[in-house]
Amino acid sequence: MSKVLVSDPIDQAGIDILSQVAAVDVKTGLKPEELVEIIGEYDALMIRSGTRVTQEIIEAGTQLKIIGRAGVGVDNVDVPAATRKGIVVVNSPEGNTIAAAEHALAMMLSLSRYIPDANASVKRGEWDRKSFIGAEVYKKTLGIVGLGKIGSHVAAVARAMGMKLLAFDPFISTERAEQIGCQLVDLEVLIQQADYITLHIPKTPETTHLINTERLAKMKPNARIINCARGGIIDEEALAVALREGKIAGAALDVYEAEPLGESSLKSLGQQAILTPHLGASTTEAQVNVAIDVAEQIRDVLLGLPARSAVNIPGLSPNVLEELKPYMQLAETLGKLVGQLAGGRVELLNVRLQGELATNKSQPLVVAALKGLLYQALRERVNYVNASIEAKERGIRVIETRDASIKDYAGSLHLEATGSLGTHSVTGALLGGGEIRLTNLDDFPINVPPNQHMLFTLHRDMPGIIGKLGSLLGSFNVNIASMQVGRKIIRGDAVMVLSLDDPLPDGILPEIIKVSGIRDAYTVTL
């Protein structure tokens, strides 16, 4: 059974899903060296922002297949190191969007009305109504930096509160910004005109210290800034100075350059600063969402299926993925089969996407076919993340074609591989119930389900040959589960496809080829 380590607190709903397919250990608060020591036992690691998954941890995770981040930001994971090792990294891009947006809005209103300090004063026994004269957000200008999922929701709510919206996001169109009710402007214009600035961007080399001494100096003296995105986008030291000197009116931070926040001049500031301990995603609803979203992906990957929100493989929208999921298994099975028929060193793989699969959306099926093809060489080390890189490094040329006119089945896949045993081809489709059928082998029509142990022969269609082969297998104690002959003409060339209950013992293939009429024989393990 697979093993999953959960190293940050996640909702029980996620643990329940993981437990369907794996033994789950929840061990939070591990030191990095403790994690390095135990990670080798686990097939999957589920985290939030509390665990730093460094290269050292990834190297020690010799069984790791997937790292699941129950949240959005994967800046605490060394994603390139995971990709090099073929480990899928998944996240939950939307599970905590509303929670984070509402936290930013709560911060904006709290800053405006001094709610945290007013609350503390009442609890101290005071009744001070003069020290907490706030400001209204109505008709004020909100500058949103980053108009993605969270930024857009903040915009929608702020607009309803009567705010004027400016946005800076170099990656979205003016039309999209207008749809959301924002005027797209340069960062410098936003900085100078906004009464409130809220950050909703990832932390990248370009966004690190985006808000620095110079930009703080250009803000309005009544400006208030909110960072519920990532620590380090604001230079914390510069911010503390700007607040202390009254260059801006307030700041609310949920995220910090180093977490947990240690010694910091921000802590000695008064009511103009609000600090929360990375609570943006901390709602019951968001924690259930992200735990389910990521646990389902871990479960799928452990079952050999693709993940819907992998950050290090080409993204698939959930709709496309839902349509393709059954075909991924077909593509992988055909890849495994044709790879073994063609022999170890495959140089060329032709993948033809047929019928309704003949669309651009089906490209992941080519990756799945490669994964199957490389399985014999790489076993569990090959996956959807590294299959294309591994194929390229092995010099396997991949040709992808589409033919919508082939309509024997709704959608079918034809794979042809050239390797050390020559060129072989196989076609497969799905039946109504989603079962896989092999429908053609080396241009001979067949109709068989795949089986773990299979034997294929090329022979002359003539009386007695099936009996002879049956006796030979019987003498080696191999039980035949099913057998089918595919031929184009009576008494011409034909293929025999046998599903076996046991693997073929060593040394039997040369004996099979000696049977009169059999030209070649191949054994395959799926």
Ligand X SMILES: O=C(O)[C@H](O)COP(=O)(O)O
Which residues are annotated as catalytic?
230, 259, 278
The strand ranges marked E within 86-202 are 88-90, 141-145, 164-168, 183-184, 196-199
Inter-residue contact 59 to 86 (CB < 8 Å): no
Interface pick for ligand X out of 231, 280, 306, 335 (rule CB under 6 A): 280
Of the pair 170, 260, the CB lying nearest ligand X is at 260
In the complex, what is the shortest distance from the CB of residue 99 to ligand X, in angstroms, rounded to a whole number? 8
Pick one of ligand NAD, ligand X, none as the site partner of residue 48 (Cβ within 5 to 8 A by kind). ligand X
Does position 202 bind ligand X by CB under 6 A?
no
Does position 280 bind ligand NAD by CB under 6 A?
yes
Question: How many other CB atoms sit within 10 Å of the CB of residue 326?
Answer: 15
Does position 297 bind ligand X by CB under 6 A?
no
The residue assigned the tokens 């089945």 is: 409
Per this entry, what is the length of the chain?
Answer: 526
Does position 158 bind ligand NAD by CB under 6 A?
no
Does position 453 bind ligand NAD by CB under 6 A?
no
Does position 230 bind ligand NAD by CB under 6 A?
yes
Count of helices and strands (H, E) across the chain: 17, 22
Across 380-410, b (16+ Cβ under 10 Å) vs e yields eebbbbbbbebbeeeebebeeebeeebeebe
Does position 289 bind ligand X by CB under 6 A?
no
Q: DSSP letter string over 193-244?
A: H-SEEEE-----TTTTTSB-HHHHHHS-TT-EEEE-S-TTSB-HHHHHHHHH
Of the pair 72, 324, the CB lying nearest ligand X is at 72
Helix (H, G, I), strand (E, B) or coil at 343: coil
Interface pick for ligand X out of 71, 231, 372, 486 (rule CB under 6 A): 71
Does position 72 bind ligand X by CB under 6 A?
yes
Does position 200 bind ligand NAD by CB under 6 A?
yes
Does position 50 bind ligand NAD by CB under 6 A?
no
Distances in whole angstroms, Cα of residue 339 to Cα of each of 334, 373, 436: 8, 5, 18
Cα 421 from chain centroid (whole Å):
36
Tell me the C-alpha distance between 40 and 3, whole Å.
10
Residue nearest to ligand NAD (CB): 148
Does position 206 bind ligand NAD by CB under 6 A?
yes
Residue 416 host element (H or E): strand 411-419
Does position 209 bind ligand NAD by CB under 6 A?
no
Tell me the C-alpha distance between 121 and 115, whole Å.
10
Pick one of ligand X, ligand NAD, none as the site partner of residue 229 (Cβ within 5 to 8 A by kind). ligand NAD
Of the pair 206, 393, the CB lying nearest ligand NAD is at 206
Does position 281 bind ligand X by CB under 6 A?
yes
Of the pair 93, 181, the CB lying nearest ligand X is at 93
Does position 72 bind ligand NAD by CB under 6 A?
yes
Interface of this chain with ligand X, residues 11 to 50, rule: CB under 6 A: 48-50
Across 103-116, b (16+ Cβ under 10 Å) vs e yields bbbbbbebbbbbbb
The partner residues of 460 in beta bridges, in order of sequence, read 493
Which range, of 31-39, 96-104, 303-311, 379-387, touches ligand NAD by CB under 6 A? 96-104
Which range, of 123-131, 195-203, 291-299, 494-502, touches ligand NAD by CB under 6 A? 195-203
Tell me the C-alpha distance between 411 and 108, whole Å.
53
Inter-residue contact 453 to 503 (CB < 8 Å): yes
Does position 96 bind ligand X by CB under 6 A?
yes
Of the pair 72, 194, the CB lying nearest ligand X is at 72
Of the pair 118, 201, the CB lying nearest ligand NAD is at 201
Residue nearest to ligand X (CB): 71
Tell me the C-alpha distance between 150 and 135, whole Å.
24
Phi, psi of 70 (to 5 degrees): -75, 75
Pick one of ligand X, ligand NAD, none as the site partner of residue 150 (Cβ within 5 to 8 A by kind). ligand NAD
- Interface positions with ligand X (CB under 6 A): 48-50, 70-73, 96, 278, 280-282
- Residues within the interface to ligand NAD (CB under 6 A): 72-73, 96-97, 100, 145-151, 168-172, 200-202, 206-207, 228-230, 254-255, 278, 280-281
